[in-house]
Chain A
Amino acid sequence: MATKKFLYINRKPPHGSVYALESLEVVLIGAAFEQEVTLAFIDDGVYQLLQNQDTSAIETKNFTPTFRALGDYDVNRIYVERESMELRGLVKEDLMPLTWEDEDDDWAEKDSIHVVSSAELAEIFEHQDVILNF
C-alpha cells in the first residue's frame, strides 16, 4: 500500500461539539493503515490537550485521556500552535504530557508535543499529501 503523509488539523474545543472526539476516532483507525501521521492543534483546538479535564458537570464522555494512547500507535508528531496558546494564556505545562518510546534509542521516552509558530506550521502543512480539517 502506498504511504502518504496524513495531517489532522484540530481547530475546535474538546467539548461543545463532537468534532474533536470524532477526529480522534479517525486518527486511531487511521493509525492501523501505517501512513505517516501528523496532528496539529490550532485556535480553540489547543484546549483539546489540556490536562485534567472533567466533563462530569455536562454529563458527556470525557474522551481526552484517549490522547495518551497515541504514542502506542506511533503517532508522535503532535504540533501545537504557539500563537493560539499565547492568545489563550496557556503554556506547555498546561497540556497533558504525551510521550512515545523510541525503538531506535533504547526505548527512550520522548515528548510527542511540539509547540511551534504558525510559520513553522505552514511549512509542515506544505509537505502533506492528505489534510483532514476538524
Chain B
Amino acid sequence: MKFSIMVNEGPYTHQASDSAYHFTAAALKAGHQIVRVFFYHDGVNNGTRLSVPPQDDRNVCARWTELGQQHDLELILCVAAAQRRGLLDADEAKRAGKDSNNIAPGFEISGLGQLIDAGIQADRLIVFGD
C-alpha cells in the first residue's frame, strides 16, 4: 500500500513525531511504500540539525534523517510553517537576509501543495498530531 505521512507536532513535547517515525519505519519494513512525509505546524521543528538531546534519550530529529537516507524518503517541511518558526535552508536564509541556516540533511522545504499531492497520490494519508 502507498502511505503518505503528515507530522503536526515537533520533537519531544508530544509523542506525535515518535509515533509517525515508528509507523513509517514499520510500514517500510512490511514492504509498503511511503509517498512522502510532510511536516506541518510545529512539526517543521523535526527538521532542525541543531537539536542536541541528552545521550541517554532517542534523537528524534536525527532519526528522521537516518530513515530518510536509508529509504530515499521525501521529508518535506512546509515553507510557510518553517519560515514562521525559524527553520531555514541556505536559500531561504539568504533570501531573508539571515546569517545562518539549520535544516538537517535529507529534509527539503516546499509548499503546501506537496501535502495535497501526498493525499492524492497515496492510498492512505496518516496524520500524526496531538
Cβ of A124 under 8 Å from chain B: no
Task: Sample 16 A-B pairs with CB under 8 A, ordered by A number.
Answer: A6-B116, A6-B119, A18-B41, A22-B40, A22-B41, A25-B112, A30-B116, A32-B113, A33-B113, A33-B116, A33-B120, A130-B125, A132-B6, A132-B119, A132-B127, A133-B129
Nearest B residue to A31 via CB reads B116
Known contacts A4-B119, A18-B41; is-contact A26 B129 (Cβ 8 Å): no
Cβ of B80 under 8 Å from chain A: yes
Across chains A and B, the number of contacting residue pairs, with CB separation under 8 Å, is: 46
Q: Which 9 A-B pairs have the closest CB atoms?
A: A130-B119, A29-B112, A30-B116, A33-B116, A130-B125, A133-B127, A26-B112, A2-B120, A4-B120
Tell me the smallest distance from the CB of B111 to a CB of chain A, in Å. Answer: 7
Q: State the interface size on chain A (CB cutoff 8 A).
A: 20
Q: State the interface size on chain B (CB cutoff 8 A).
A: 16
CB-defined contacts of A25 to chain B, threshold 8 Å: 80, 112
Nearest B residue to A130 via CB reads B119
Tell me the smallest distance from the CB of A27 to a CB of chain B, in Å. Answer: 10
Please determine whether B81 and A132 come into contact, CB atoms closer than 8 angstroms: no
Tell me the smallest distance from the CB of B118 to a CB of chain A, in Å. Answer: 9
Cβ of B109 under 8 Å from chain A: no
Task: State the A residues within 8 Å of B (CB).
Answer: 1-2, 4, 6, 18-19, 22, 25-26, 29-30, 32-33, 35, 129-134
Most buried by A among B117, B119, B129: B119
Complex Cα–Cα for A33 and B117 (A): 8
CB-defined contacts of A22 to chain B, threshold 8 Å: 40-41, 80-81
Tell me the smallest distance from the CB of A37 to a CB of chain B, in Å. Answer: 10
Please determine whether A19 and B120 come into contact, CB atoms closer than 8 angstroms: no
Please determine whether B127 and A29 come into contact, CB atoms closer than 8 angstroms: no
CB-defined contacts of B129 to chain A, threshold 8 Å: 133-134
CB-defined contacts of B127 to chain A, threshold 8 Å: 131-133
Nearest B residue to A4 via CB reads B120
Complex Cα–Cα for A6 and B6 (A): 15
Complex Cα–Cα for A129 and B117 (A): 13
Known contacts A22-B81, A132-B125; is-contact A1 B6 (Cβ 8 Å): no
